[in-house]
Amino acid sequence: MDLSKLSAQATADDAIIWREGHFYLLDQRVLPDRVDFIELNSASETAQAIHDMVVRGAPAIGITAAYGVVLAGQAAYQSSAQRWQSTIRADLDTLRLSRPTAVNLFWALNRMERLIDGLSATEDPTESLLQEAILIHDEDVRANRKMGELGAALIESNAGVITHCNAGALATGGYGTALGVIRSAHGKGLIREVFADETRPWLQGARLTAWELLQDEIPVTLLADGAAAHRMAQGGVNWVIVGSDRIAANGDVANKIGTYSLAVAAKYHGVKVMVAAPTSTIDMSLASGGEIPIEVRSGDELLFCGGRQIAAQGAGVWNPVFDVTPAELVDAIVTERGVVFSPNKKKMQKLLMD
């Protein structure tokens, strides 16, 4: 496939593509400067792409890993039609190690593994694995549309909203979680202004959220991360709307670093906080947010910018890339199965039981 053809037709909704037996990812590291696709040929290349942020965003990581398992199944069966079910496990482990915080990665891999366990030990698994990966992808888009409806129903007219990081089509199978709510509310004429935090150090807000919203002709105003509280103080901001990488059983929310301080500032200013996330982001095995593994990435991401050192030589650096917002700072968790207001353990359990 000529990759430039994919680039020419690219939209944020088509960042993860399986076509005619080949797997392609829109390279989110170089957006919006360049719209480039790369082809992945193995599970280890897929794991590396997740680790290197070619693809990022919790649901998108899960979907990508599921397609990575298709590549793994294909390779395992080709190398030994009798032993593919055991040889594939090493690739599953490699994918599991790609990033630690977004539980959607483990959710998708566990789902693929359950399928593997039920398949015939000697038949080519490729088609069954592919159908499951496509289902995971399609279900995510449907969940986003539903969350878009449910979240938009909470938003008053003439609303100002702040979003953080990129929780859009690029971060999911399409449409987006937080940006799905914003898209839907904007379509209903409810939104006056969308503010996007630039989101240091990867600039997901400035590069990706702004690109996506402008593609959809939704005007966006960028804020330096540190400007959000000051913007709230000016008035006219009704909601902070974000996605999540993992929600613990008590409703504590892990999301991109800076979400916690945004929620603290929102509480102080009477701004409501909405978290839009599919139920695949909920991890009932963890009692509270303190148990969520928080990824700490290379200090170079802070010391350098655009390949040039910007920090003083010799400065120490700590680069956690997610934080945990306590449930008491969250007004609503919007999922495809319904909305949980003022989340706690009992309400989260009820959501998943209904």
- Give the nearer residue to ligand MRU in terms of CB position, either 57 or 73: 57
CA 141 to the chain's CA centroid: 12
Distance of closest approach, residue 205 Cβ to ligand MRU, in angstroms: 10
DSSP secondary structure of 231-258: HHHTS---EEEE--SEEETT--EEEETT
* CA contacts within 13 A on the Cβ side of 107: 24
Question: Rounded CA gap, 166 and 164, in Å?
Answer: 6
Contact (Cβ atoms closer than 8 angstroms) between residue 192 and residue 160: yes
SS3 59: helix
Distance of closest approach, residue 156 Cβ to ligand MRU, in angstroms: 23
Question: Rounded CA gap, 78 and 342, in Å?
Answer: 51
Question: Rounded CA gap, 263 and 273, in Å?
Answer: 7
* Cα separation values, 307 from 149, 303, 313, 316, Å: 41, 10, 15, 18
- Give the nearer residue to ligand MRU in terms of CB position, either 59 or 68: 59
Mention every residue, 6+ apart, whose C-beta is less than 8 A from residue 305. 201
**Can you list the alpha helix ranges (DSSP code H) found in 253-340?**
259-269, 300-303
Residue closest to ligand MRU (Cβ)? 243
3-state helix, strand, coil in the chain (%, to 5): 45, 20, 35
- Give the nearer residue to ligand MRU in terms of CB position, either 76 or 265: 265
DSSP state of 296: B
- Give the nearer residue to ligand MRU in terms of CB position, either 75 or 171: 171
- Give the nearer residue to ligand MRU in terms of CB position, either 58 or 130: 58
Neighbours of 325 (CB within 10 A): 26
Per CB under 6 A, residues contacting ligand MRU are 56-59, 102, 165, 167, 171-172, 177, 204, 242-245, 255-256, 321
Distance of closest approach, residue 274 Cβ to ligand MRU, in angstroms: 13
Strand 239-242 versus strand 159-163 pairing type: parallel
Distance of closest approach, residue 225 Cβ to ligand MRU, in angstroms: 13
**Is 33 annotated as catalytic?**
no
Distance of closest approach, residue 176 Cβ to ligand MRU, in angstroms: 6
The catalytic residue among 13, 91, 245, 252 is 245
Distance of closest approach, residue 143 Cβ to ligand MRU, in angstroms: 11
- Give the nearer residue to ligand MRU in terms of CB position, either 133 or 182: 182
The residues annotated as belonging to the active site are 245
